[in-house]
Structure 1
Amino acid sequence: MKPLLEALKERILIADGAIGTLLYSYGVDRCFEELNLSHPNEVLKVHKEYIDAGADIIQTNTYGANYQKLSRYGLEDSVKEINTAAVRLARKAAAKNTYILGTIGGIRGIRQNVSVEEIKRSFREQLYCLLLEGVDGILLETYYDFEELTTVLNIAKREADIPVIAQVSLHETGVLQNGMEIKDALQQLELLGADVVGINCRMGPFHMVNSLEEVPLPKRAFLSVYPNASLPNYEEGRFYYSAEPDYFGDISNELRLQGARIIGGCCGTTPDHIRSVASRLKSREPVKEKKVKKKKVVQLSSPSISGSLLHEQVREKKTVIVELDPPKHLDTKLFFQGASALKEAGIDALTLADNPLASPRISNDAIGSLVKSKYDLTPLVHITCRDRNLIGLQSHLMGLHTLGIHNLLAITGDPAKIGDFPGAASVYDLSSLELIELIKQNNEGISFSGKSLRERTQFSVGAAFNPNFRHLDASVKRLEKKKKAGADYFISQPIFGKEQLIQVYEATKHLDVPIFIGIMPLISSRNAEFLHHEVPGINVPEETRQRMKEAGNDPVKARAVGMEIAKDLLDTAIQLFNGIYLITPFVRYDMSVELIHHIQEKTNTEREVPYGHHIV
């Protein structure tokens, strides 16, 4: 049998189809790769069925057989055992002229929070297991994240002396999720040493044909394509694919005409699909020249915005933002009275929480739009990862841009179980870090899928800062990660002690990112105790709680003490930070108005000091 690359010079090779699709009957939630150990005869049967259907190439049942994915099932210590068994089963099934590819799937998908170092460690472990057992090539498949694919490709080319196939996966025709055109991605993979470059998963053959129309034939490498059977259907809790094998076989010739030398199948494909492809392509010659379709260039516009972006404004002057939570009911009279009073007091933005403590309120995008249009007040809209899946988040961002709302705060959000709808589910498709990255990608005119938005959003994105953790250094490291993800500014949880304000300043002064420091007036001793003991992320010092306790049960006296504490804190805060974040308690906007006037008096009568990094 000729080596794999020698064979590809002469003819088209037919690859196998999905393995997981045929093993699906053993349960949706189980680990398919573990079946190499518990049901080896079933895995062997799948391989043989594909070979009998005409496959020249089969892949090992190791797509997710890495430390990261196996750990979901408590199998992280079985990486070697599972991969070893997989290669031996493929070798046992193979005919004399069958090529065996050791498959390694991508780790990053929607969630991007697996570090490059973790990916490297996991990849090397799996790669060495496959190489030790002797495979004819390495198949890198289903990589949505281009950084991950280039990282592991470099390792594979350095460590292996066998062919490496590198395949990306697309959400949209012709583009990766980072907006890179498929032709540019495949060219880069070829330059990095990939012997075969291609596409697999997510799309059916029709959209893969459309994607390859814009791809020239590689100069040195070969093209591969593994389409899904079709788009999946969902019925009675199960996904299934309805594409007919004959259709799949017919359109495989169009893949050949686009230059594909390896044609197989991904999700939903079966031996019948591969048999249909083999019957049509076994005697066909590979294409050695093709006419490349030119991609239509989409011009991105950058519309002007009304109002200012907070991270720019706070670098220039003392900036005060005030939180006024949207109502939990439909009576909005008091809320808009407060918004009007705060506007008259001269605030720079009104921050609108997104269902804080997992309790539903009037949507802050609706309230924000009204605040902007009726009161000419800049809304700062919070966005949690808790309530919307990735589709909803992308749609929400597009809607906010269309409404002219450009100042955002990206936060994870309190878990649903702590709210007053305890049966609700927390979504968390993204973390706050990944939401920041998505917002920044939208600012480049690219959606999560990589598709052009045809217009650049112009979001100023803030991130939450909790200085109340026991170890402040850990909170600051989190800030550094958020800054790296693209955060333009930070908004802190409320601080109730002067010493803590100074500690926070010293711990964050190396960051060239503005910080809005949180100040919240207390209204009673009971309020102080509740915040300290029951609200996550808030710490009220014992001295402050004692002062509130000494005020007794007189609400007027308690308010006065609470305001005195807040003003003392503000006197320190305005010397250290250019951004002040006032948190209005229980829609008592008169308290925030009074604190705004105090800030204005202090900044107008006292000599300005060099505020350091926070206003650079």
Structure 2
Amino acid sequence: MGLLKALKSKVLTADGAMGTLLYAYGLDNCHEEMNIVRPDLIEKIHLEYITAGADVIQTNTYGANSIKLARYGLEDKVSEINKAAVSIAKKAVGNRNQFILGSIGAIRGVRKSDTTLDEILLAIKEQAMVLINEKVDGLLLETYYDFEELTETIKLLRYETSLPIIAQVSMHEPGILVNGMNLNDALKELQDLGADIVGVNCRLGPHHTIQAFEGVELPEKAFLSAYPNASLLDIEDGRVIYESEVDYFARAAVQLRNQGVRLIGGCCGTTPKHIEAAKKLLQNLEPIEVKEAIVQKEVFIQEAEPSILEPLHEKVKRERSVIVELDTPRHLEIEAFVEGAKTLYNEGADIIMMADNSLASPRISNIAMGSILKLQHGIRTMPHITCRDRNLIGLQSHIMGLNALGLHDILTVTGDPTKVGDFPGATSVYDVSSMELISLIKQLNEGISFSGKPLRKKANFSVAAAFNPNVRVLDRAVARLEKKIEHGADYFISQPVYTKEKIEEIYEATKHLSAPIYIGIMPLTSFRSAEFLHHEVPGIKLSEEVLERMKACDGDKEKETAEGIAIARELLDAAAKHFNGIYLITPFLRYDVTIKLMQYIKQLDEQNKGVKANV
């Protein structure tokens, strides 16, 4: 009898966690390598679950693909590890009737940019073909937070095999996927793509897993599965633990059966004792044939309050727009900064931009200064948001705070690594890249949190992305811009450019893009600062001509400043011909220099009145 035929008339009990038990044995390295290093231990764990009453066991191959194995230098052992895993499972089953599922775990984490979908599918196919050829009874796709990865994997595997496919999503919030999709709709789509068993595993404990299934209808062409964690995790003496009584888990298994689930196992924290307790209560229960799902109340998501200020990415498409950067202080004296921001804004800057601890050195929070400028002085501000300093929790909290304060213009940046700043030993977080952060912010604009939970109201962010044109191969940088547009970037702000030729090159390479670009111009104030920028600041390169011109004035502060302004004006002449957007970076709080350049831009526009620049 095959797995699917058995599920037509029975509720089957699956095994529990493998990693939890290996972790308990003190093995916290590559668990899949144990298939060839400690096959006796893997067999022992399988036997414990079989003895506990599991009808279905899974191979120890969750991370046995080339991408995950590469972390341990084992990427060339995909076939060996997967073959060994199936062999061990078959040996443990012996002449018994347990079904063996080939476990295939999700690869994508929060940082989708680390690995392309094509690379993932290639790795999954390599692993799956070994499991299929070793004649497992089905393929178990588990712990998929990224719905696109799961759907594309099912398409791939359904083409390659007729074996039963079990497809399980993971959620941060009960009944809602990370992308905001309703669980019931997601499981229907997985069924329609060819999955034979659809369900949920990991992250949520029994209580929230049951809650999630209350809104799930019985599939027409598939069965339901659930592998909840033993409980929500806790940390004790630096180790992950799951507090759960086995009787509680067993009673929860019965409630899952009452929701129509027919394949019930366990994920993180579960042990043979949990499975044994669940089996005792499930073994005499018939499957549920009819169920009335609880219709999930649709959460009303308020539209974002319309902004009284036009988004810069719209304004710059038709007329001149100037963004001015003024870094917040490194110290607690803010009066000079506030005065500079007021002066620049009154001079005609569309917005005052503030970096987020640039060069990994602490400054006064840009959200704090942005609030002061907006609330006390009516100044429109744009804070940078770096991926370096905050994890996903901090990022969402920070961005929701910006929305609450009415600061709707933001620039996402990856952030300079901490080793270049004041605290080289500090941790760089980088949970996501700037590209992924753009997508997440646009998700907030739909009223959906990073975890998929409704926010009751849509945010209203206009999102700028960084552009570094000072690279050897500009086409590659432009390709990144195209990807950022796909992720939702509204417009781009470039690193400072120091040659007219580079500006022309940028125009030719980017004129096909749908999102406008602000060209960065940063006036030089001394030869020493010019050398520092050229040699030490990532993303900035000066031409030999500019360096020589500044060197010729070295030591004479007035001449150095005048020459720096002259160079910047020449660059503005070139930039204004092709770009409506100008981004002026104020050097070392010298806003008097920036004002001279703003006045020059006005002169240029007066001279060229009636001539429309290309965006």
Q: Which SS does the other structure have where 1:188 is aligned?
A: helix
Residue pairs, 1:518-557, within 5 angstroms: 518-557=520-559
Q: Which SS does the other structure have where 1:392 is aligned?
A: helix
Find the aligned partners of 1:581 and 1:26 in 2 and give their Cα distance. 58
Find the aligned partners of 1:101 and 1:611 in 2 and give their Cα distance. 63
Find the aligned partners of 1:558 and 1:223 in 2 and give their Cα distance. 73
Find the aligned partners of 1:215 and 1:401 in 2 and give their Cα distance. 34
1:14 aligns with 2:16: no
Moved more, 602-611 or 270-279: 602-611
Q: Which SS does the other structure have where 1:315 is aligned?
A: coil
Q: What do the CA deviations read for 1:392-434 (whole angstroms, capped 9, x no partner)? A: 1111111110010101111100001110112210000001111
Name the amino acid aligned to 1:252. Answer: A
**Partner in structure 2 of residue 301 of structure 1:** 302
**Partner in structure 2 of residue 45 of structure 1:** 44
The alpha carbon displacement at 1:572 in A equals 1.1
The alpha carbon displacement at 1:608 in A equals 4.3
* TM-score (normalizing by structure 2): 0.98
Q: Which SS does the other structure have where 2:331 is aligned?
A: coil
Find the aligned partners of 1:195 and 1:204 in 2 and give their Cα distance. 24
**Partner in structure 2 of residue 569 of structure 1:** 571
The runs of at least 4 consecutive aligned structure 1 residues that moved more than 6 Å come to: none
* TM-score (normalizing by structure 1): 0.98
**Partner in structure 2 of residue 425 of structure 1:** 427
The alpha carbon displacement at 1:610 in A equals 4.2
Name the amino acid aligned to 2:106. Answer: G
Residue pairs, 1:316-327, within 5 angstroms: 316-327=318-329
Instruction: Report if aligned partners of 1:343, 1:375 keep a CA contact under 8 Å in 2.
Output: no
**Partner in structure 2 of residue 247 of structure 1:** 248
Structure 2 gap ranges (5+): none
Instruction: Report if aligned partners of 1:321, 1:351 keep a CA contact under 8 Å in 2.
Output: yes
**Partner in structure 2 of residue 76 of structure 1:** 75
Name the amino acid aligned to 2:61. Answer: T
1:490 aligns with 2:492: yes
Find the aligned partners of 2:310 and 2:460 in 1 and give their Cα distance. 11
Identity across aligned pairs (percent)?
56
Q: What do the CA deviations read for 1:122-168 (whole angstroms, capped 9, x no partner)? A: 11000101011110011111100110000010111111121111110
Instruction: Report if aligned partners of 1:384, 1:412 keep a CA contact under 8 Å in 2.
Output: yes
Find the aligned partners of 1:218 and 1:161 in 2 and give their Cα distance. 19
**Partner in structure 2 of residue 4 of structure 1:** 3
- Matched positions, count: 612
**Partner in structure 2 of residue 112 of structure 1:** 112
Instruction: Report if aligned partners of 1:201, 1:266 keep a CA contact under 8 Å in 2.
Output: yes
Q: What do the CA deviations read for 1:231-261 (whole angstroms, capped 9, x no partner)? A: 1110222101110111100111110000000
Q: Which SS does the other structure have where 2:317 is aligned?
A: helix
Name the amino acid aligned to 1:76. Answer: E
Structure 1 gap ranges (5+): none
**Partner in structure 2 of residue 512 of structure 1:** 514
Find the aligned partners of 1:112 and 1:565 in 2 and give their Cα distance. 41
Name the amino acid aligned to 1:392. Answer: G
The alpha carbon displacement at 1:26 in A equals 4.9
Find the aligned partners of 1:525 and 1:127 in 2 and give their Cα distance. 60
Instruction: Report if aligned partners of 2:198, 2:222 keep a CA contact under 8 Å in 1.
Output: yes
Name the amino acid aligned to 1:558. Answer: E
Find the aligned partners of 1:347 and 1:610 in 2 and give their Cα distance. 20
Choose which of 328, 333, 336 in structure 1 pairs with 2:335: 333
Find the aligned partners of 2:107 and 2:415 in 1 and give their Cα distance. 25
**Partner in structure 2 of residue 101 of structure 1:** 101
- CA distance 1:29–1:240, change in 2 (3 Å): same
Moved more, 478-487 or 353-362: 478-487
1:34 aligns with 2:36: no
**Partner in structure 1 of residue 390 of structure 2:** 388
Choose which of 570, 594, 597 in structure 1 pairs with 2:596: 594
Backbone CA RMSD of aligned residues: 1.0
Q: Which SS does the other structure have where 1:62 is aligned?
A: coil
Name the amino acid aligned to 1:98. Answer: Q
**Partner in structure 1 of residue 153 of structure 2:** 152
Find the aligned partners of 1:27 and 1:411 in 2 and give their Cα distance. 39
Name the amino acid aligned to 1:12. Answer: V
**Partner in structure 2 of residue 469 of structure 1:** 471
Find the aligned partners of 2:611 and 2:481 in 1 and give their Cα distance. 25
**Partner in structure 2 of residue 57 of structure 1:** 56
Find the aligned partners of 1:495 and 1:333 in 2 and give their Cα distance. 30
Find the aligned partners of 1:250 and 1:298 in 2 and give their Cα distance. 30
The alpha carbon displacement at 1:308 in A equals 2.5
Q: Which SS does the other structure have where 2:102 is aligned?
A: strand
Choose which of 424, 428, 447 in structure 2 pairs with 1:445: 447
Name the amino acid aligned to 1:264. Answer: G
Instruction: Report if aligned partners of 2:167, 2:197 keep a CA contact under 8 Å in 1.
Output: yes
Instruction: Report if aligned partners of 1:575, 1:609 keep a CA contact under 8 Å in 2.
Output: no
Q: Which SS does the other structure have where 1:316 is aligned?
A: coil
Instruction: Report if aligned partners of 2:387, 2:413 keep a CA contact under 8 Å in 1.
Output: yes
Find the aligned partners of 1:287 and 1:157 in 2 and give their Cα distance. 27
Moved more, 268-277 or 471-480: 471-480
1:180 aligns with 2:181: yes
**Partner in structure 1 of residue 608 of structure 2:** 606
Find the aligned partners of 1:369 and 1:266 in 2 and give their Cα distance. 45
Q: Which SS does the other structure have where 2:494 is aligned?
A: strand
1:89 aligns with 2:91: no
Name the amino acid aligned to 1:272. Answer: K
**Partner in structure 2 of residue 377 of structure 1:** 379
Q: Which SS does the other structure have where 2:384 is aligned?
A: strand
Q: What do the CA deviations read for 1:506-548 (whole angstroms, capped 9, x no partner)? A: 1111111110100010011111111111111110100011111
Find the aligned partners of 1:50 and 1:177 in 2 and give their Cα distance. 32
The alpha carbon displacement at 1:604 in A equals 1.6
Find the aligned partners of 1:319 and 1:537 in 2 and give their Cα distance. 23
